[in-house]
Structure formats: structure tokens, C-alpha cells
Chain A
Amino acid sequence: MSDKPTQLITDDQQAAPALRLVILLLVSTVAAGLVYVLWSFPASAPGLTHTVATQMSQSGVSHPVTAVLLNFRGYDTLLEMVVLLMALLGVWTLGGTADYHDHAPGPVLDTLARLLAPVLILVAAYLLWVGAHAPGGAFQAGSVLGAAGVLLLLAGWRPHVTLIALPLRLLLIIGPAAFVAMALVTLISEGRLLAYPVAQAGTLILILETAATLSIGVTLAALFLGGELSDTQSK
């Protein structure tokens, strides 16, 4: 394999045609096996639908997906917040990329970002609220919030240096921290991890979701910036 420096985009080498044929055959075998397994599944399987439905009255929300995410399988969501944070820490550890140039945004992008950012934030808040009884919730709202952040960053907006130091890190940590705190409190009071008292479940889930939304949105926008923020911090 030649080792000369090449361009980032054009540097693609493919396997030799004969080898590609073998790979194609192997992958086709995998695909055929997959299709066979999918085909042999029973056409109707209730899965956990019934189990979830019978427990819905205990969950504090009326949308089953939100109930699974935040209540029945809250543990998964707690760990996922940590995964997001770990990914961002990994990106920050690698440091900033030198060839990341800022361009002055054109008038269209600038106007669009100014118009859309408040709308996207409103949509995120609506998605967060509606998640209790319809499709929506912390992850969707967080993604929309992250998209608003990315749009602003593309338009050349950068958070002020004083905002980056502590407030940004607080926003990043508030979601996982709220989850861990809730897990500890419920572990002590109810005896089980993230087992909310039935009466307050709805409120607690909304609080958790708000914290999670903020963290997810800020994490995604920070991931988009890459190592740049960590550099600003050290300067």
C-alpha cells in the first residue's frame, strides 16, 4: 500500500475486483441469512406491548414510548446521557482541528439563522412538553435544540468566552447530574433505582426531561464544534 500523502477527499482505494466479488458473495450470504431469519419470524408477536399497557397508569405519562424511555427503562436513558458526555469528552481530548476556518456568513444564512433559531427553540420546548402524551420527548427536543445551535454556529455565532468556561459545562452536566441525583433519591426513598412515586411521576419525568433536553442540545452543538471549545478554554 503506497504511503504518499494525499488529499482528504480523493484518497480512496477500493479492493481489487476479484476480491470485491468474493466480498460481494460473502455479504450476499449474510444478507440472505438475515432475510431468512426475518422471514421466519412469526407474523404477529405481542412483544412487550401488553406489559407496557398494563403498567401505563403507573408511569405518570400517557405516551408509551416516553413511559418506556423515562420510567420503565430510565436506566438506559441515564447511561445514554453518560455516553453522550463521554463522546464529547473524547472529542475534546483530541483537541481542536487546525484547519477549521470561519467564513463570514452570507446574508441569506445570517437572516435564516436569526429567523429560525427562536422558532427551533420554541419547537424544542413544545416537543418536550408534548412528549408526555404524544410522540415527542427529551431526545427529539434535544436534537431540535442541537440543530438550532448548529445553525447559529454555522452563521458565525460563537458563545462568549465567559459563557464557555463554567455555564457551558454546567449545561452539559445538568442532564446526567439530574438523572444520577434522581436515581440516588429514588434508590433511598423507594428502594429501587429510578422507581418514581406514582403520584409525582409525571412531574419528576418532566423535570428530568427538561434537564436532559438542555444537555442533549448543548452536547450535540458542542460536538459539531469539535475541539474548538476546549481550546478556547485553555487559552
Chain B
Amino acid sequence: MFALVGAGLFALGLYALIIHAHLLRKILAFNVMGSGVFMILVALAKRSGDVVDPVPHAMVITGIVVAVSATALALTLMLKLNAASGHARLNDDSQD
């Protein structure tokens, strides 16, 4: 059940990642996708009966910290892009 919610979160994040041009929204959407993946992992860890499989849990803990640091790096890149070019989106034409 929770795995299905995770799949839904993943799809929601993927949709927002594609349709929004603004980088902040893209970063947020990417985090929602990541949360969906974590949720699927934790939900699948429950399948092993009474004792929960610890390996996916360890992977999720690792993943959360990496996601936080990657988000911080992405936000800094976005601020820098905004300071340099005045807007916070990626241009389609490669001239810029």
C-alpha cells in the first residue's frame, strides 16, 4: 500500500519536474521523486515478515543525507545562475 503511494509521489514529482521551467520548482519536484523512492524502499522492506529488513532502511538513511546535500548544492547553483543571468531557468537555445 505504502509502495503504491511512493509510486504516486514519484509520478507526481516527475510530472512537475517536466512541466515547470523554474529551477526551484524542478529541485522541489526532484525531492518529491526522491521521497517516493524512499517510501517504496521502506514499504518493500516490510515484506520480510515480523522483522523488518534492515538493509533498505540503511539505504534510505544514507539516501536522505545525500539528497539533502545534493539539494543544497543545487540551490546554490540556482542562486548563482540567478545572480549571473537574472533568471532561474535553463534556456533551450544553447547560445546563452
Interface of A toward B, CB cutoff 8 Å: 1, 3, 5-6, 8-9, 11-15, 20, 23-24, 27-28, 30-31, 34-35, 38-39, 41-49, 52-53, 64-65, 67-69, 73, 76-77, 80, 83-84, 87-88, 90-91, 94-95, 97-99, 137, 139-140, 142-143, 216, 219-220, 223-224, 226-227
Residues on B with beta carbons closer than 8 Å to the beta carbon of A1? 91-93
Label chain A's interface by main secondary structure: helix
- In the assembled complex, how far is the CB of residue A21 from the closest CB belonging to chain B, in whole angstroms? 11
Q: Which of A49, A84, A98 contacts B83 (CB 8 A)?
A: A98
A28 B53 Cβ-Cβ under 8 A: no
Closest 4 CB pairs of A and B: A5-B86, A31-B11, A64-B54, A87-B69
- In the assembled complex, how far is the CB of residue B96 from the closest CB belonging to chain A, in whole angstroms? 7
Q: Count A-B contacts at CB 8 Å.
A: 159
- In the assembled complex, how far is the CB of residue A69 from the closest CB belonging to chain B, in whole angstroms? 5
Interface of B toward A, CB cutoff 8 Å: 3-4, 7-8, 10-11, 14-15, 18-22, 24-25, 40, 44-45, 47-49, 51-59, 61-62, 64-66, 68-70, 72-73, 76-77, 79-80, 82-83, 85-89, 91-93, 96
Q: Which of B3, B45, B89 contacts A47 (CB 8 A)?
A: B45
Q: A64-B54, A80-B62 are in contact. Are A34 and B10 (CB under 8 A)?
A: yes
User: Complex: how many Å from CA A107 to CA B11?
Assistant: 43
Q: A68-B55, A76-B59 are in contact. List 18 more A-B contacts (CB 8 A).
A: A1-B92, A14-B19, A14-B21, A30-B14, A34-B11, A44-B49, A48-B53, A49-B48, A49-B49, A65-B57, A69-B58, A87-B73, A88-B69, A90-B73, A90-B76, A97-B80, A224-B72, A226-B72
User: Complex: how many Å from CA A52 to CA B58?
Assistant: 12
B15 A23 Cβ-Cβ under 8 A: yes
- In the assembled complex, how far is the CB of residue A153 from the closest CB belonging to chain B, in whole angstroms? 13
B22 A12 Cβ-Cβ under 8 A: yes
- In the assembled complex, how far is the CB of residue B91 from the closest CB belonging to chain A, in whole angstroms? 6
User: Complex: how many Å from CA A11 to CA B10?
Assistant: 25
Q: Which of A6, A38, A46 contacts B48 (CB 8 A)?
A: A46
